[in-house]
């Protein structure tokens, strides 16, 4: 499993045909209950390596719920029960023997509202590698931090103020800092929960560019309210409604010729 | 009134409306006045309290002393063994020089003018400054309590002699000494540097301050870590079931238990079962920590709850474990509030008297307590002891000691407020 992951990250971004695609995440009959209420009903989907997969749908349809299952962030919610199977590279994510801390390092997350730590920019990015013990000395740490900030497209703007608090940056810069923070622990997957909903259009455009670059090295799953964003940024799109996965297909096909009437209604703005 | 349909308007200027509005504004003003009156009352009581205390206690901050020249030349003093010299005799000899022709019958009342342990004071002064040997130098000797009161105007000279604490001879000699400019009233530093004494002119708060310090230190060292750990457990790890609810209810109730009960607990468990030494600041600190614990737990929980969950989620998202998320992120951000609450809790503990009385911290300690395990007093219990004492001098000293205690409380609460303001909302 690890060898496959390394090869996938090192290989250049050549066009991968549909037959060569390998599934990074596989979900089979995934159901999520919050206490008595069921939020997801028998979801089956595949998320492929080095692609951007978008989850779209009206509010309350369960897309964020499913996203948070992928890195087990739903564990933090009191009465949330997940049944069914979600596998990462063939291994069941909800297996009790899985190390949740390792899982969350391999599957990083960027949240809707930018939430940098109230520490310096350097410390924000360095925190992950430090607690996981990924670097052994100060020089290596600096290298990891600088590389992550460069990959997130933030380094040029903050190179002179690495010791200033992360909370002092603008909204778009903070979100890129959060992306850099997620990248610093060398994840395989980056989950993004409506990352641009709190940002202005220009910052949004920059992050969408960033996502496009990042997909060469990471698998990305993005939840978004904006269909235009999903169309611009993703290769595959999954449409959800009231906890059911209505349709999942190539983005082009979903937005030009969807198979399901509900998808058609949502896309054309008939509801949602 | 209009029916609310489109186009129908209310008459906002009608007399009925105007009256109604006027009444509403009047209610606003009344509310404001209630607030002002309430604050004025509270402030008034506070000023009254501090005022009466200051009025009755300010005289204790000065001590009447006599300046006496003592010639140590030619006296039988062995420099290598200063403790053994006949200081009493030396002093009395020199004192007799202050008055001409002192009849034998008046000797006792003459020497009673000066504090009873004046020869020890002279001895200690010489030990501290051996250069005084072999020459004449001035010594400051405190007057005994009756004369101290006379000097401060507390004794009415008109009352008949048998009802006065000072007799006519003493008054006459005192006036003589005054005429010789030998009477001074310097600031009473001994109030802070001396230990307790039977004699008010010599009594000080040093033992009480030391005892309170040790007790508070023990209280802090026990209640701070235990309180924070308990709060973290309840907030982060405890499952939401009836056992946890039961624990929470009991902790909240603990904060409302009268302090006397904790004293009884300390008496029965710490002194009885554990066999710890009576009157020790260690036991006092343990009892006080039981009282401060619920305060710290409640404050810490509130502080942890107020840290935005986004920061915790961010930490977990990067792969932090539960304890890493708490100790690297939640706790440091909650710490200023926790410290503020702790200081306030400690300030409350400083003034608690009942539990300390029950474990015996009202012992009469006239020498250095020496530490955590030795019998000691504390500030509030010292006040209690002095309030009970009959000598006039202790009346003023009780008020002075209360003012000292209030001073400490003020400083601690001010520190807490400053901390809170400085660290308000850093994220």
Cβ proximity of A221 and A192 under 8 Å: yes
B300-337 confidence digits (pLDDT tens) = 999 998 888 899 999 999 999 988 999 999 998 898 88
Query: How far apart are alpha carbons B196 and B198 in whole angstroms?
Result: 7
Residue B266, SS3?
Answer: helix
B293: CB partners within 8 A, 6+ apart: B222, B223, B226, B227, B230, B254
Residues from A in contact with B at Cβ < 8 Å: 71, 73, 76, 78, 101-105, 108-111, 113, 115-118, 127-128, 131-132, 167, 178, 181-182, 185
Number of other residues whose CB lies within 10 A of the CB of residue B49: 12
pLDDT at A17: 47
pLDDT at A123: 93
Query: How far apart are alpha carbons B99 and A185 in whole angstroms?
Result: 92
pLDDT at B391: 81
pLDDT at A179: 93
pLDDT above 50: residue B390: yes
Residues from B in contact with A at Cβ < 8 Å: 240, 308, 310-311, 313-321, 324, 328-329, 333, 426-427
pLDDT above 70: residue B343: yes
Strands (DSSP E) contained in B122-234 are: 136-142, 183-184
Confidence category of residue B110, pLDDT binned at 50, 70, 90: confident
Strands (DSSP E) contained in chain A are: 23-34, 37-48, 52-56, 80-88, 91-92, 107-110, 189-193, 219-223, 236-241, 244-250
Q: Which chain A residues have a beta carbon less than 8 Å from that of B314?
A: 111, 115-117, 178, 181
Number of other residues whose CB lies within 10 A of the CB of residue A151: 19
Stretches in chain A below the pLDDT threshold 50: 1-19
Cβ proximity of A40 and A30 under 8 Å: yes
pLDDT above 90: residue B47: yes
Least confident of B48-57, B204-213, B349-358, B361-370: B361-370
A29-82 confidence digits (pLDDT tens) = 999 999 899 999 999 999 999 999 999 998 888 899 999 999 999 988 888 999
Percent of chain B residues topping a pLDDT of 90:
34
pLDDT at A132: 92
Cβ proximity of A48 and A261 under 8 Å: no
CATH 3.90.550.10 fits A23-267, yes or no: no
Q: Which residue has the higher pLDDT, A18 or B169?
A: B169
Interface test mutation site (partner B, options A67, A115, A129, A169, max chain B beta carbons within 10 A): A115
pLDDT above 60: residue B4: no
pLDDT at B6: 60
- Judge residue A195's burial from the number of C-beta atoms within 10 Å of its C-beta, 0-12 exposed, 13-18 middle, 19 or more buried: buried
Query: Domains of chain B (ranges plus CATH)?
Result: 60-188 (no CATH), 206-422 (1.10.3720.10)
Alpha-carbon separation of residue B380 from A272, B118, B356 (angstroms): 69, 29, 9
ipTM attached to this prediction: 0.85
pLDDT above 60: residue B426: no
Half-sphere exposure of B319 (CA within 13 A, CB side): 27
Asked whether the beta carbons of residue A131 and residue B324 sit closer than 8 angstroms, the reply is yes
Q: Which chain B residues have a beta carbon less than 8 Å from that of A101?
A: 319-321
Number of other residues whose CB lies within 10 A of the CB of residue A25: 22
Two tokens, residue B245? 């609810």
Which spans in B58-129 are helix H? 87-96, 107-111, 118-128
B120-156 confidence digits (pLDDT tens) = 888 888 888 888 888 888 888 899 888 888 888 888 8
**The whole model's pTM is what?**
0.78
Phi, psi of A237 (to 5 degrees): -130, 135
Residue A193, SS3?
Answer: strand
Percent of chain B residues topping a pLDDT of 70:
97
Query: How far apart are alpha carbons B75 and B87 in whole angstroms?
Result: 10
Query: How far apart are alpha carbons B316 and B328 in whole angstroms?
Result: 11
């Amino acid at each position: 499993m690890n060898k496959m992951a390394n090869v996938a990250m090192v290989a250049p971004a050549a066009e991968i045909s549909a037959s060569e695609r390998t599934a990074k995440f596989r979900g089979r009959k995934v159901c999520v209950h919050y206490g008595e209420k069921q939020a997801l009903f028998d979801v089956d989907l595949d998320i492929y390596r080095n692609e951007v997969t978008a989850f779209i749908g009206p509010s309350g349809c369960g897309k964020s719920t499913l996203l948070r299952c992928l890195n087990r962030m739903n564990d933090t919610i009191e009465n949330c029960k997940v049944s069914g199977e979600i596998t990462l590279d063939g291994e069941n994510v909800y297996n009790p023997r899985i190390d949740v801390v390792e899982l969350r390092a391999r599957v990083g997350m960027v949240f809707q509202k930018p939430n940098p730590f109230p520490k310096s920019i350097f410390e924000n990015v360095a925190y992950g590698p430090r607690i996981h013990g990924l670097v052994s000395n100060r020089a290596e740490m600096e290298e990891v931090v600088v590389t992550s900030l460069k990959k997130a497209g933030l380094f040029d703007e903050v190179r002179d103020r690495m010791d200033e608090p992360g909370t002092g940056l603008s909204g778009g810069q903070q979100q890129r800092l959060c992306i850099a923070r997620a990248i610093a622990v060398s994840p395989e997957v980056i989950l993004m929960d409506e990352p641009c909903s709190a940002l202005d259009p220009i910052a949004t455009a920059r992050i969408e560019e960033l996502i496009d670059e990042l997909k060469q090295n990471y698998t990305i799953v993005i939840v978004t309210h904006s269909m235009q964003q999903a169309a611009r940024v993703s290769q595959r799109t999954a449409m959800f409604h009231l906890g059911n996965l209505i349709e999942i297909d190539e983005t082009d096909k979903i937005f030009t010729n969807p198979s399901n009437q509900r998808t058609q209604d949502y896309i054309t703005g008939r509801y949602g | 009134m209009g029916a609310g349909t489109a186009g129908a308007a209310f008459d906002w200027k009608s007399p009925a409306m105007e009256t109604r509005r006027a009444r509403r504004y009047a209610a606003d003003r009344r509310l404001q006045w209630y607030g002002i009156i309430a604050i004025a009352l509270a402030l008034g009581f506070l000023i009254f309290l501090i005022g009466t205390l200051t009025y009755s206690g300010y005289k204790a901050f000065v001590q009447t002393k006599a300046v006496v020249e003592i010639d140590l030349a030619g006296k039988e003093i062995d420099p290598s063994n200063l403790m053994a010299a006949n200081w009493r005799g030396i002093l009395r000899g020199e004192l007799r020089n202050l008055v001409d022709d002192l009849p034998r019958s008046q000797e006792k009342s003459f020497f009673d003018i000066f504090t009873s342990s004046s020869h020890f004071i002279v001895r200690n002064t010489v030990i501290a400054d051996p250069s005084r040997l072999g020459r004449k130098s001035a010594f400051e000797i405190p007057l005994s309590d009756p004369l101290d009161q006379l000097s401060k105007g507390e004794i009415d000279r008109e009352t008949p002699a048998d009802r006065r604490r000072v007799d006519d001879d003493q008054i006459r000699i005192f006036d003589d000494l005054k005429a010789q400019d030998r009477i001074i009233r310097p600031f009473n530093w001994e109030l802070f540097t001396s230990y307790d004494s039977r004699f008010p002119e010599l009594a000080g708060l040093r033992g009480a301050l030391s005892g309170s310090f040790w007790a508070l230190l023990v209280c802090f060292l026990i209640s701070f870590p235990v309180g924070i750990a308990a709060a973290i457990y309840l907030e982060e790890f405890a499952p939401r079931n009836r056992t946890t609810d039961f624990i929470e209810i009991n902790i909240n109730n603990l904060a409302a238990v009268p302090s006397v009960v904790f004293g009884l607990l300390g008496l029965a468990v710490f002194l009885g079962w554990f066999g710890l030494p009576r009157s020790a600041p260690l036991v006092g600190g343990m009892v006080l920590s039981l009282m401060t614990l619920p305060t710290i737990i409640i404050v810490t929980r509130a502080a942890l709850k107020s840290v935005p969950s986004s920061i915790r989620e961010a930490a977990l998202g990067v792969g932090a474990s539960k304890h890493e998320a708490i100790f690297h992120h939640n706790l440091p951000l909650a710490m200023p509030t926790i410290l503020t609450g702790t200081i306030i809790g400690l300030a409350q503990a400083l003034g608690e008297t009942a539990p300390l009385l029950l474990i015996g911290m009202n012992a009469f300690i006239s020498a250095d307590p020496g530490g955590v395990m030795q019998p000691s007093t504390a500030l509030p219990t010292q006040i209690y002891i002095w309030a009970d004492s009959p000598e006039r001098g202790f009346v003023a000293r009780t008020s002075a000691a209360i003012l000292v205690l209030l001073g400490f409380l003020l400083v601690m609460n001010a520190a807490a407020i400053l901390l809170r303001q400085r660290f308000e909302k850093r994220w």
